[in-house]
Amino acid sequence: MIRLNLPSELLNYSNIIEECCSRNTQYTSDVLSNKQYLLDIGNDYEEYARLNNLYRFDTDFPIEPDGVICNTLSNSHMVKLYDYCLRDCRSGGVYDAVLNSAKNPKIRCPFCGGINTPSQIDHFLPKSRYGHFSVFPYNLIPVCKDCNTEFKKEFFPTEKNKQLIHPYLDEDCFFNEQWLYAEYIDDGTDFGTVCYYLVPPNDWSDDKKDKIKFHFEKFHLADRFSVSSSGSLSDIWVQMKSHKMNGTLMDDFEKCNIDSVIENESRANHWKKALFQAVKAKLSVIWRKI
C-alpha cells in the first residue's frame, strides 16, 4: 500500500549480522560460520520477491524436520539472534532505524495504507518458520499492532495468487498507480458513508490483480478504510454546510476544499484520496441535501 525505502545504514546485511553477533552469545559462532549462506539466501529472497515468487520459498528452501537451516545453524539460533540481539539489545540500532523509517506522517503503516502508526516490526516471512531472514533488513517491516497481530499474524505465502504487497521490493506500479477507489453512499445517517473497492489498471497482469485483491482482503481494508473515513467525512460535511450558509458557491468549495486535497495527496492509494474523490463525484447531490 505504501512504498518503504530501507535507511542507508541498513543496506549492508553483512554488517548487521556482525553487529548482532557482537553480543557474543552461545550461538554466535553458529551464525558467523554460516554467514555466507545467510548472505546468499538473502540475495535469493530479494530476487524472489522482485519476481513475485516468494510463495516458492516453502518448497525451494524447506526447513529440515529438526529445524536445521544450514550445517550447525538452526532456526532457533536465528530467532534468538533477532529476539535478544537485534530487538532487546538494539544491536546496531537496526530495530529503531526500521521502526522510525515509517513514522513519517506521509508513510506510517505500509500494510494498511497509513491508517495507524507503526509500533512493531513484522517479519514479512515469519521468523518462526524462516529464521534465515530473522535479521535480514528487507524482511523487517515496520507495522501497526492491528496489522501485525490481528490480521497478518504468522502468514506466509504458499500460492502465487495469495501474496501480500511487499513494501520494499514490489514493483512501483503497486504504489504509483491508483487502484483503490471509493463510493459515497447516502445511507440515511447524518453524513452518509463511504464504500471502498478495487479497480486495477486494465493493462495489469492477473498476478498483480490477484495480489492487490488478496492484500485488500487479508487486512480487511474495506471495513477499516470506511471506519477511518467517517471522521473526515463528517468534517467535510460540516465545512460544506458552513460554506453554503455563508454564500460560497459549490464550484468554489469544490476547488478549494476538495480538489486541493486530491491534488496534494501524493500517495496514489491512500484512503483519504479515495474518500475525497468519492465526495467529489457526488458533490452536487450532497450540496443540495445539506
Distance between CA atoms of residues 17 and 21, nearest Å: 6
143-202 confidence digits (pLDDT tens): 999 999 999 999 999 999 999 999 999 999 999 999 999 999 988 888 889 999 999 999
Query: Which pTM value belongs to this model?
Result: 0.94
What is the predicted pLDDT for the residue at 211? 98
The number of angstroms, rounded, from the C-alpha of 35 to the middle of its chain's C-alpha atoms is 29
Q: What is the mean pLDDT of each run of 10 residues along the chain (290 residues)?
A: 92 96 89 96 97 92 82 94 95 94 88 94 95 96 97 95 98 97 90 95 97 98 96 93 94 96 94 96 91
Who contacts 244 (Cβ-Cβ below 8 Å, separation ≥6)? 250, 253, 287, 290
Who contacts 110 (Cβ-Cβ below 8 Å, separation ≥6)? 1, 2, 3, 4, 102, 141, 142, 143, 167
41-62 confidence digits (pLDDT tens): 999 999 999 999 999 988 888 7
What is the predicted pLDDT for the residue at 235? 94
